[in-house]
């Protein structure tokens, strides 16, 4: 699985968009980008995933660059409840189930 690089921490004002970057320059053609988040000591929560195209669901949007070497998770209107550690995970979509978590980005949403 490709290695990912995320900033250790970010701040965002409540109500503003939170843009969380992830670099995965060694990603292979069959590897997907997954995002999870973990609110303090709770179980990680699946957010979104994508292969090439941008994806959007009720929680967030995922923007993947054309060369697929980086991606951005966008929380359009961050709330205090979005304060969490966000993990970007790159893995082959149909090869085994385990998730390999890195250190993630600690997002603090401030009033």
Partner 1 sequence: DSGVTQTPKHLITATGQRVTLRCSPRSGDLSVYWYQQSLDQGLQFLIQYYNGEERAKGNILERFSAQQFPDLHSELNLSSLELGDSALYFCASAFSPLGGEQYFGPGTRLTVT
Chain positions contacting partner 1, by CB under 8 A: 32, 34, 38, 41-46, 49, 87, 89, 91, 93-103
Q: Are 32 and 51 in contact (CB under 8 A)?
A: yes
Gap between the Cα atoms of 11 and 66, Å rounded: 27
In angstroms, give the least distance from the CB of 85 to partner 1. 10
Give Dmax over CA atoms of the chain in angstroms. 42
Cβ distance to partner 1 smaller for residue 12 or 27:
27
In angstroms, give the least distance from the CB of 33 to partner 1. 10
Cβ distance to partner 1 smaller for residue 3 or 110:
3
Gyration radius from the chain CA atoms:
13
Residues 6+ apart with CB under 8 A from 28: 2, 92
In angstroms, give the least distance from the CB of 111 to partner 1. 26
Cβ distance to partner 1 smaller for residue 15 or 30:
30
């Amino acid at each position: 699985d490709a290695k990912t690089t995320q900033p250790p921490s970010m701040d965002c004002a409540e109500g503003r968009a939170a843009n969380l970057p992830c670099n995965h320059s060694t990603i292979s053609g069959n590897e997907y980008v997954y995002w999870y988040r973990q609110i303090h000591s709770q179980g990680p929560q699946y957010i979104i995933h994508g292969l090439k195209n941008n994806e959007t669901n009720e929680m967030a949007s995922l923007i993947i660059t054309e060369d697929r070497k980086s991606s951005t998770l966008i929380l359009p209107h961050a709330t205090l409840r979005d304060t969490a550690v966000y993990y970007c995970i790159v893995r082959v979509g149909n090869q085994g189930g385990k998730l390999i978590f890195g250190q993630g980005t600690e997002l603090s949403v401030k009033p």
